[in-house]
Amino acid sequence: MKFRLFVLCLAMSGHFSPALASMDLARQKNCLACHAVDKKLMGPAYRDVATKYDGQPDAVDILTAKVMQGGSGVWGPAAMPANRVTPAEARQLVQWVLSLKQNALQGESPPSPTANELVTKPATSSALRVSVDKPTLQRGKYLVESILACGNCHSGAPDNFGTLGHALSGGWTYDVPAFRVTAGNLTPDPETGLGEWTVEDLKRALVHGVRPNGLPLAPSMPSAFFRALTEEDLNAVANYVLSLPPVRNPTPAPVYRTELHEEVYPDAQRPFTAREIATDQSTRGRYLATLGHCMGCHTPAVNGVGDFVRDGGRGGKRLGPDKVLVPNITSHPTAGLGGWSDAEIKRALTKGMSRDGRHLHFPMPWPYLASLEDADLDALVAWLRTLPPKE
């Protein structure tokens, strides 16, 4: 989310002597998860914001409204969410950020906190008790424990890969040049998990990648794919996760080291409908493959972003602790799966064994895909057959 979380984070005061207090407010509101004073992280540098709006008479009013309501289109295509600040706090933050250009001209240089100083603020929303029918919870459980493979990241680490049954209380740490993020505690523990989240908070996080307090989730969370969830399935997943037994397990705050790019997946531009996935097998397979974010791994990336239209399914990334080469899953007869039988594909998906007998490695979530119902497994294979051959 390179989104203009700039104004989510703008601090207070108007003259420089209270700068540290302003910085404290920015920390408190989690602004510094995405911004720094003098360099671009996930969002623009505050001084760049100050420069852009320098001399604009209504800048304070415009930016204050954006802090409160969210927006998009100024610093990139991704949207900045509305933020949980009071009107007075938003205005103070904006005034502080706009003062940074003047401070720079005067030779003053307020400290820019490092990412290691970030502290995640507890969600401020009131938790709502899960109150849905049993079939809804069963559907959520099925999706979480099969195609979504939430436990692949949120339960333990690759050294226990293939061992199911762990609580979704956090686990695998992604430490890459752009960021260091540990998969969070998904259980409703009030202090270390989602205990203060509402169902609507979790839905928003799943499909928009934003916490209730405005702090963005890292791109390793496949929200760009989860936007395909039908309304019914999104509701089922959120309710099921919040019905889990709470487990206390604190996880470290994220560290962002550079600007991050949000991916846009073609098949997740809008939610699927229940009718669509019920009436056509390949459409159902496309839906399941999107939820399983298959193309997120099986598409090569350029500058951190996958070209899903041109290279979708071609493979080529190296992932996991062992930097395993991700294979081609298109219908190419030799480079891809075109020469594989349906049974061979299903064995790879559910048993983790390639056509030549090699075992598939993390992060291929075959232990979770093994829980797929036969009809859904057939639909996935039908979808794979539709992928254009690419070498």
Q: What angle do CA 294, 299, 301 make, to 5 degrees?
A: 130
- Give the DSSP H/E element, type plus range, for residue 179: strand 179-182
In the predicted structure, residue 263 carries a pLDDT above the cut 60: yes
Residue 33's pLDDT band, with cuts at 50, 70 and 90, is: low
In the predicted structure, residue 278 carries a pLDDT above the cut 90: yes
DSSP for 125-176? SPP------HHHHHHHHHHHHTTS-THHHHEE-GGGTT-----SSEE-EEEE
Given a contact cutoff of 8 angstroms between Cβ atoms, the answer to whether 117 and 32 are in contact is yes
Average pLDDT estimate for 87-96: 85
Beta bridge mates, 210: 216
For residue 384, the model assigns a pLDDT of: 94
Q: List domains and CATH numbers for the chain.
A: 19-117 (1.10.760.10), 134-386 (no CATH)
Instruction: Check residue 5 and report its DSSP letter.
Output: T
For residue 382, the model assigns a pLDDT of: 96
Given a contact cutoff of 8 angstroms between Cβ atoms, the answer to whether 379 and 284 are in contact is yes
Nearest to 137 by CA among 244, 222, 226: 244
Tokens of 50: 């100050």
Cβ atoms within 10 Å, residue 374: 8
For residue 108, the model assigns a pLDDT of: 47
Residue 131's pLDDT band, with cuts at 50, 70 and 90, is: low
Average pLDDT estimate for 24-41: 65
Distance CA 179, CA 18 (A): 31
Residue 109's pLDDT band, with cuts at 50, 70 and 90, is: very low
Share the mean pLDDT of the chain: 78
For residue 130, the model assigns a pLDDT of: 60
In the predicted structure, residue 129 carries a pLDDT above the cut 70: no
Chain centroid to CA 2: how far? 13
Distance CA 322, CA 106 (A): 51
Whether the model clears a pTM of 0.75, i.e. scores above it, the answer is: no
In the predicted structure, residue 207 carries a pLDDT above the cut 70: yes
For residue 310, the model assigns a pLDDT of: 84
Please give, one letter per residue, the 3-state secondary structure of 262-328: CCCCHHHCCCCCHHHHHHCHHHHHHHHHHHCCHHHHHCCEECCEECHHHHCCCCCCEECCCCEECCC
Residue at 372: amino acid letter: L
For residue 288, the model assigns a pLDDT of: 97
Residue 85's pLDDT band, with cuts at 50, 70 and 90, is: confident
For residue 73, the model assigns a pLDDT of: 64
For residue 83, the model assigns a pLDDT of: 61
Distance CA 22, CA 28 (A): 10
- Rounded to the nearest 10 degrees, the angle between the axes of helix 87-105 and helix 19-28 is 130
In the predicted structure, residue 168 carries a pLDDT above the cut 80: yes
In the predicted structure, residue 333 carries a pLDDT above the cut 90: yes
The number of residues making up the chain comes to: 391
For residue 290, the model assigns a pLDDT of: 94
Comparing 128 with 282, the larger pLDDT belongs to: 282
For residue 111, the model assigns a pLDDT of: 43
Residue 252's pLDDT band, with cuts at 50, 70 and 90, is: confident
Average pLDDT estimate for 120-130: 41
Distance CA 63, CA 167 (A): 42
Distance CA 267, CA 54 (A): 40
Contact partners, residue 285, CB within 8 Å, separation at least 6: 379, 380, 381, 382, 383, 384, 386
